[in-house]
Amino acid sequence: MGCGTTPELLPVAEALATYRRVLTPLPASDYPVEAALGQVLAAPARAAVDLPLFDQSAVDGYAARSVDLAMATQDSPVRLTLSGDIPAGQSTETALAPGCAMRILTGAPVPSGADTIVRQEWVVREEGTIRVDRVVAPETDLRRQGEELQSGAELAAAGTRLDAGRLAALAMAGVASVNAHPKARVTVLVTGDEVKPVGEPLTPGQIYDANGPLVRGWLTQRGQPLVRCQAVADRFEDVCQALEQALTESDVVITTGGVSVGDRDYLPEAAERLGVTRHFWKLAQKPGKPLWFGTREGTALIGLPGNPAAVLVGLTVHVAEVLRVLEGDPAGPPWGYGRLLEDARPDDRRDQWLRMRLQTDPLTGATALAPLPRQASHMLSNLMAADVLAWVPAGDDAWRAGSVVRWLPLR
């Protein structure tokens, strides 16, 4: 929060705290493990089996008894009689007898009696026997049952968001289903009579729609279930109708445009007409000052301003946190920190979200930030170069080269 922010505008940190305070995670249920990709666990997941599942070989070679090889040297190699063959996926009931070895492949179960594996590079194979010319210590290349994880051990705590690697770790440990919060279902309403989809002809005064592609693309990249994305005309009744349907069908409703004080800015009035409880409307941030946040029966409504850079801030900073709370994710925003390599734009009223490039600080080797030109709220072209959205608090000094600021990744 900047020290010089205008008092009637809610500080950004308070907006973030409001989401945590007024929203509750969506009710959890059980999902097949792979269906829960991207979801957050509501209960710990425990290993259903030991890992490794059984004593197994780490290499292609021969299961042996280390005592048989204790005297082996180049001058006096030991011969072991081959008494079996164990490929991966099979096991043998037969115990390994003294003076014997069994052929074994990587991952195959070790027969009882064997306490070491002789990798095949160390062996000369002859008719029915192998010749070993070195000592092989007990436990060499042998993976013991349960050495990684024991059945019943907690593998993932509640609050863990599942990615591909975590899913794989659960599946390996025999976890077939998990108790998780669902992903939030989102509806997007893009207002503005002046906007047209790119590719369609424009009449004078019209512009191409940036917010539709921005919000849809951002949600798709996150794997967010999209209920619908709809263009809504700047008419009060149309806004009310679309909003009512969206509130009924979704966990989160995102609107763009029509949230300020203009003659056709219907969102605040429509939301209040439909019984949405307002938590705040104006934030001490730039871009994105008019940001309307309210709830109705657990559904969150986030009214973003129409300016595309304000929508970018709304998604990266605000919608992301709303989704984390609803999805049961205890982690707050994934802040990075870096020193400004050059002066940024000063502002003494509102904290600024500035698009910057990540660089390496030539003095320290640490991550540093280079502000980009073309930062105004109606501009997006610098996203071609931007890596992060940096939070530059309002006030006297935070914008100066050398200040350390926080940032959120843009990709």
Ligand X SMILES: Nc1nc2c(c(=O)[nH]1)N[C@H]1C(S)=C(S)[C@@H](COP(=O)(O)OP(=O)(O)OC[C@H]3O[C@@H](n4cnc5c(N)ncnc54)[C@H](O)[C@@H]3O)O[C@H]1N2
The one segment of 4-12, 63-71, 259-267, 319-327 that binds ligand X by CB under 6 A:
259-267
DSSP secondary structure letter of residue 34? G
Residues between 368 and 387 that touch ligand X (CB under 6 A): 377-378
Q: Per CB under 6 A, does 262 bind ligand X?
A: yes
SS3 13: helix
If contact means CB under 5 to 8 A according to the sort of partner, which of ligand MOO, ligand X, none does residue 166 touch? none
Q: Per CB under 6 A, does 328 bind ligand X?
A: no
Question: Which of 252, 263, 260, 242 is closest to 302 using CA atoms?
Answer: 252
Binding site for ligand MOO (CB under 6 A): 286-289, 305, 307, 310, 377
Q: What residues contact 24, with CB distance under 8 A and at least 6 apart?
A: 298, 325
Q: Residue 164's CB: how many other CB atoms inside 10 A?
A: 10
Considering only 306, 314, 338, 371, the residue that binds ligand X (CB under 6 A) is 306
For the bound state, the minimum distance from the C-beta of residue 370 to ligand X, rounded and expressed in Å, comes to 25
For the bound state, the minimum distance from the C-beta of residue 310 to ligand X, rounded and expressed in Å, comes to 5
Residue burial 293-321, b: 16+ Cβ < 10 Å; e: rest:
bbbbeebbbbbbbbbbbbbbbbbbbbbbb
The one segment of 112-120, 127-135, 208-216, 385-393 that binds ligand X by CB under 6 A:
208-216
CB-nearer residue toward ligand X: 182 or 290: 290
SS3 360: strand
Cα R_g (the chain), whole angstroms: 31
Count of residues engaged in binding ligand X, rule: CB under 6 A:
27
Residue number closest to ligand MOO, CB atom: 287
If contact means CB under 5 to 8 A according to the sort of partner, which of ligand X, ligand MOO, none does residue 244 touch? none
CB-CB contact of 351 with 393 (8 Å): yes
Sign of the C-alpha dihedral, residues 325, 326, 330, 332? Answer: negative
If contact means CB under 5 to 8 A according to the sort of partner, which of ligand MOO, ligand X, none does residue 80 touch? none
Judged by phi (left if over 0) then psi (alpha if -120 to 50, else beta), residue 170 lies in: alpha
For the bound state, the minimum distance from the C-beta of residue 347 to ligand X, rounded and expressed in Å, comes to 12
CB-nearer residue toward ligand X: 39 or 255: 255
CB-CB contact of 409 with 393 (8 Å): no
For the bound state, the minimum distance from the C-beta of residue 217 to ligand X, rounded and expressed in Å, comes to 13
CB-nearer residue toward ligand MOO: 299 or 307: 307
CB-CB contact of 69 with 88 (8 Å): no
For the bound state, the minimum distance from the C-beta of residue 288 to ligand MOO, rounded and expressed in Å, comes to 5
If contact means CB under 5 to 8 A according to the sort of partner, which of ligand MOO, ligand X, none does residue 314 touch? none
| Identity of the residue numbered 296 | R
CB-CB contact of 369 with 358 (8 Å): yes
Classify burial at 261, counting beta carbons within 10 Å of its beta carbon; exposed 0-12, middle 13-18, buried 19 or more. Answer: exposed
For the bound state, the minimum distance from the C-beta of residue 286 to ligand MOO, rounded and expressed in Å, comes to 4
x/- track of binding to ligand X for residues 384-403 (CB under 6 A): --------------------
- Please give the Cα distance from 267 to 99 (Å, whole number): 84
CB-nearer residue toward ligand MOO: 50 or 347: 347
For the bound state, the minimum distance from the C-beta of residue 376 to ligand MOO, rounded and expressed in Å, comes to 8
Binding site for ligand X (CB under 6 A): 190, 192, 194-195, 207, 209-212, 256-262, 265, 287, 289-290, 305-308, 310, 377-378
